[in-house]
Chains A and B, each alone.
Chain A
């Protein structure tokens, strides 16, 4: 039992350190309060909708390319940016607008009411770069990046 407690403590500490360092986290813990407090704290917030990993995704090339680009992005993004990954089900439970068509989507929140949406799996680094920049993309950038300005409402 003591060993189990030690392992649990180390794991908890590792998770806390990871979150304290601004590392993104995955899953069901994302709440509207968490999103709201990050925005109030002046952080850029990115909500990423993606399927929860299971072995069936191991040979899915679209998932593989998306995960590779996403992991590269999160490894290099500023600590002032809070990246939250959630499943489609959790997204639907938490966010009223915009709707996401498929199982992937990325919302770069501009403020508490608007966001840039990429409705699909981002497969090119440039799209993250456009989405994360504070400036709203011009018409040409929107056309090539697939980003669209949308209203954002939490439930």
Chain B
């Protein structure tokens, strides 16, 4: 009797119908989905890692699903749920990056477990084939066309190729603050001068001696520092501290607070030049936003300009 033909099965990354790749899996040991599959061949972990490299989230591929792969995959899953913009590389897939694609349909995943099932694999592969790269949630916001908001002399421009004078950099979800500042300033007949918005991490200037705050809302583009000028009078932080601010400055602050912005003058150590939209610094959204904002800023990704 003839022996039954040996069927060699290959585990394809694009067809992970039964297996969910997770931390500890290894192509070399043929361990996938936490189980040993001696009869199967394939390099799904390597393929996953190559896809993560292609979308800009991993540096090395070795076929071993370790903590680095898990973090990169979690970031991809979070990104696909939350960010609706990506970069498109030239067809060769080699930088320099060419342009932004706005409105990339989000891949809705209810969580970011850092494991890879069929749906995630297909999504990653489609991104890889489209030469899409994850990018920054930050945007440039122009102030030149605004009647009551300008950039102050104290403003330190960010060292960034696509940033122009008269612009501030903020998270896309917080960019509306500039319009709100202008509307409120117009209403209260004051002028706003912006001192700082997004702050780059890990660039303490030479000579710095104190630790910067590592979880500030500025580091994710969710905060803005400013002074309120009333008929030429600068309502400085000490004026607020000593209760000597003008009535119109008070009206402006109250107007901004009523629009839902958090004012630093209400903090226990007061910071009356500061407005923000608090994103819980201990939460996953803060950490992910921080990563994409800072990582892509340092990579000098192009940034959208909003009005």
Residues of A within 8 A of B (CB): 23-26, 50, 53, 57-65, 67-68, 70-72, 74-77, 83, 85, 102-104, 118, 120-127, 143-146
Contact = CB atoms under 8 A, between A and B. Distances in A.
B273 A123 contact: yes
User: 3 smallest A-B Cβ distances: which pairs?
Assistant: A146-B238, A64-B213, A75-B205
A35 B154 CA distance: 31
Interface of B: 154, 156, 195-196, 199, 204-218, 223, 225, 227, 233-234, 236-239, 241-242, 244, 264, 267, 269-274, 276, 281-282
A25 B209 contact: yes
Contact of B273 (A63, A103, A124, A145): A124
Contact of A103 (B218, B242, B269, B282): B269
15 contacts: A25-B209, A59-B281, A60-B269, A61-B216, A61-B217, A61-B271, A62-B274, A64-B216, A64-B218, A71-B208, A121-B271, A124-B236, A125-B154, A143-B244, A145-B238
B257 to A, nearest CB: 15
Contacts, number: 129
A124 B210 contact: no
B270 to A, nearest CB: 7
Contacts of A126: 154, 236
Contact of A118 (B195, B196, B238, B272): B238
Contacts of B213: 57-61, 63-64, 67
A64 B212 contact: yes
A74 B207 contact: yes
Contacts of A102: 269
Contacts of A53: 210-211
Given A61-B274, A126-B154, A71 B210 contact: yes
